[in-house]
Amino acid sequence: MKLISTENLKPGMFLSEDILNENGVVYLNMGTEIKERHIHLLINLGVSFVYVQSETEDHEPFNNFLKDRDYSREFKHTLESFKSLYTNVRLGKKIVIDEVKDSLEPLVSGILNNNDILGSLRRIEINDEYTFKHSINVSLLSSMIGKWLGYSPKDLMDLSLASLLHDLGKCKIPTEILNKPSKLNAVEYEAIKEHSALGFQILSESGQLSQDALHGVLSHHERMDGSGYPNGIEGYKIHEYARIIGIADMFDAMTSNRVYKSKISPFLVAEEMLRESYSHIDVNITSLFLNNISQFYVGNVVRLNTGDIGEVVLVSKYNMTRPLIKVESKYFDLSKHYEYEIVEVIR
């Protein structure tokens, strides 16, 4: 590893550290292969020096991370373990949390060492029931938030497990309600709202989760203004695990295809979450989460509401939901032109 001035950076070099701002927001991840656009970005941000891999180091950018194929395998392993647990709970059988925890640990370890969680999740091609894949996604997103908050390894695994099991109570909800392709009526909605308390009860009786994890499961639908459920808790009386899980749950749900609703562009979701943070979700955790994940979209190919296909070239920390887009030789600054919207992240 060696320190080099930003002006002396060359395409093909690899970063040996995360590039962060004073608030801990990640601009570029350790292991990133430098391209021309990254050099321009760093100069524009006022970053004078960075650490890069020396010529004697292994230049494979993620040599100590899970490869895509290994990550996919670990994801599928966790998926199968969770499905087995879910089925056993549905059938009233005894559950063993350790089996799921053991499968989750390498997956969480891999994702924590690779900040580009959204890229990793997009590369997982699994056609399975929404509940199962969603639960793992929420676990990994929550883990990243915990990492950015400075959680210890022990607390991170505790949070990861609570996040994975946050919807376990849905196994006791009739499948015709869970899979209904249209809007729920009032009675059905009340039935769905029981899942957090049911999950809490099941996991409490198992005696295999910490009290912190149990509170994460029970309260992930509580809201800062007291409008949530099951107990109408408000503000910072809501356990931090639950506030984290609620944010990860909202982001993954809105950016995923569900039986009753198609996914939404993550940029539009981010705007909705910012609005929600004024009353419903923790504003500090929301800002930390969105500031960090927004940087992962630099270099992504997106579709605008005009039908144009372009590349995200810059995400401003002052307006992270409205990036600068390059379409062929033209630039569209969405922070100044609100008639344009990103409707899809293509890759």
Q: In degrees, to the nearest 5, what angle opens at C-alpha 315 toward C-alphas 75 and 118?
A: 5
Read off φ and ψ for residue 203, nearest 5 degrees. Answer: -75, -30
As a whole number of angstroms, the distance between CA 24 and CA 26 comes to 6
Catalytic residue (choose from 76, 133, 170, 183) = 170
Q: Report yes or no: 156 and 143 within 8 Å, Cβ to Cβ.
A: yes
56 Cβ contact partners less than 8 Å away, ≥ 6 residues apart: none
As a whole number of angstroms, the distance between CA 170 and CA 90 comes to 9
Q: Report yes or no: 123 and 263 within 8 Å, Cβ to Cβ.
A: no
Sign of the dihedral defined by the CA atoms of residues 217, 220, 226, 232, in that order: negative
Tokens 């609570």 -> residue: 162
Q: Report yes or no: 242 and 219 within 8 Å, Cβ to Cβ.
A: yes
Question: 170 an active-site residue?
Answer: yes
Read off φ and ψ for residue 15, nearest 5 degrees. Answer: -70, 140
Query: Quick one: tokens of 48?
Result: 């004078």
Query: Quick one: tokens of 344?
Result: 């899809």
The C-alpha torsion from 38 through 40 and 44 to 48, rounded to 10°, is 70
Question: Which active-site residues does the annotation give?
Answer: 170
